[in-house]
Amino acid sequence: MSKFPNLRLRRLRRTDSIRNLTRETTLSVDDLICPIFVRYGQNIREEIAPMPGYWHLSLDQLPREVNEIANLGIHAILLFGLPDSKDPKGSGAYKSDGIIQNAIHTIKKETPDLTVITDVCLCEYTDHGHCGILEDSQVDNDQTLDLLTRTAISHGKAGADIVAPSAMMDGQVGAIRAGLNNNDLIELPIMAYSAKYASSFYGPFRVAADSAPAIGDRLSYQMDPGNTREAMREIRQDLDEGADIIMVKPALAYLDVIARASREFEEPLCAYNVSGEYSMVKAAEHLGWIDGNRIALEVLTGIKRAGADIIISYHAKEAAKMLRESRSA
């Protein structure tokens, strides 16, 4: 009976409304987190060359940006900062009047309900571009933990709603959880970049954040792209240390890792649709080879279908606009 010609799968594809009724995965603006790059200066809205449609914004430009984001119905932003100076210990990351701390104040005054998530890492702030302290040209794990913890605490004190450690140091989630708890920040959630791969897809971001390592690479702390079991160990470890939300990053070349993580773990799962994934779409769109908007929605739907509950994406604003249009159509 359940065979052609009785079985005709096209029956449920006949009309828009039947397709809408039977769709298994629906992308929503509720799923999206929009990254922002903030810097010092006045009146700066400077396009990031390898990320068309993305800008470096000075603090005074933030009100306009966050209002636009909030008006599109997006609930959360992820903040990255460019400090005014760099040093070996990345002190710009954890000083109380650093670029991120300032940006949080500005944003909270403007759009108090917008969830402000901060990236907790040192690579934008160290003069050598590594995510931690260097000792004999090696990134020293345990010395770095203290600085990451100080960074997370200072973001929390400035009013961040979620902190997101991305340095891939062992024990960073536990150290940060303990530090937050000791500083009246027991309610501040941690979104852990748990399975973060050593990926060339971060290339455009490193231009945007001026954070490429001056010497060497990140292979000794970020994950090897061939590994999936290890990703599950990273996630389990972060959960044991107190992560509230877990993450797989990048997304597109790692959809299998997202799918496996969503099967194996019960906690909210985030995926990061990273800079290189965005830039490839924009480049092909610019060349007239693809419909960038529709591809962006398809990509985001694919990441969600793989199992992500939350998606960080540079496409967030354009996706929010398209989702709104499709609702009012």
| The one segment of 26-34, 98-106, 119-127, 175-183 that binds ligand PBG by CB under 6 A | 119-127
Interacting residue with ligand PBG among 131, 180, 281, 316 (CB under 6 A): 131
Interacting residue with ligand PBG among 119, 161, 238, 285 (CB under 6 A): 119
C-alpha count within 13 angstroms, C-beta hemisphere, residue 228: 11
Radius of gyration for the chain, computed over Cα atoms and rounded to the nearest angstrom: 20
Interacting residue with ligand PBG among 37, 55, 125, 202 (CB under 6 A): 202
Interacting residue with ligand PBG among 74, 82, 93, 123 (CB under 6 A): 123
Q: Which of residues 29-48 bind ligand PBG (CB under 6 A)?
A: none
| The one segment of 14-22, 37-45, 198-206, 317-325 that binds ligand PBG by CB under 6 A | 198-206
For position 221 contacting ligand PBG by CB under 6 A, the verdict is no
Ramachandran bin of 102, using left for φ above 0, alpha for ψ from -120 to 50, beta for the remaining angles? alpha
- Measured from the CB of residue 136, what is the shortest distance to ligand PBG in angstroms? 22
Backbone φ and ψ for 105, nearest 5 degrees, come out as -55, -50
CA distances from 74 to 77, 248, 277, 304, 318 (A): 8, 21, 20, 16, 11
Helix (H, G, I), strand (E, B) or coil at 57: strand
| The one segment of 2-10, 92-100, 116-124, 175-183 that binds ligand PBG by CB under 6 A | 116-124
- Measured from the CB of residue 185, what is the shortest distance to ligand PBG in angstroms? 21
How far is 271 from 29, CA to CA, in rounded Å? Answer: 15
CA distances from 237 to 42, 174, 195, 231 (A): 43, 9, 10, 10
Of 164 and 185, which has the nearer Cβ to ligand PBG? 164
Interacting residue with ligand PBG among 54, 55, 197, 205 (CB under 6 A): 205
| The one segment of 86-94, 98-106, 201-209, 288-296 that binds ligand PBG by CB under 6 A | 201-209
With tokens 């509720």, the residue in question is: 30
Q: Which of residues 236-275 bind ligand PBG (CB under 6 A)?
A: 274-275
- What residues are annotated to the active site? 196, 249
> Site size for ligand PBG, by CB under 6 A?
11
DSSP string for residues in 211-223: ---SSS-STTTSB
Q: How many residues does the chain have?
A: 329
Of 123 and 160, which has the nearer Cβ to ligand PBG? 123
Of 206 and 305, which has the nearer Cβ to ligand PBG? 206
Of 110 and 230, which has the nearer Cβ to ligand PBG? 230
How far is 131 from 222, CA to CA, in rounded Å? Answer: 10
Under 8 Å between Cβ of 207 and 50: yes
- Measured from the CB of residue 220, what is the shortest distance to ligand PBG in angstroms? 13
Please report the sign of the dihedral spanned by the C-alpha atoms of residue 151, residue 156, residue 158, residue 160: positive
Of 120 and 188, which has the nearer Cβ to ligand PBG? 120
For position 121 contacting ligand PBG by CB under 6 A, the verdict is yes
For position 166 contacting ligand PBG by CB under 6 A, the verdict is yes
CA dihedral 51, 53, 162, 203 (to 10 degrees): 0
Please report the sign of the dihedral spanned by the C-alpha atoms of residue 121, residue 127, residue 133, residue 136: positive
The binding site for ligand PBG (CB under 6 A) comprises 119, 121, 123, 131, 166, 202, 205-206, 211, 274-275
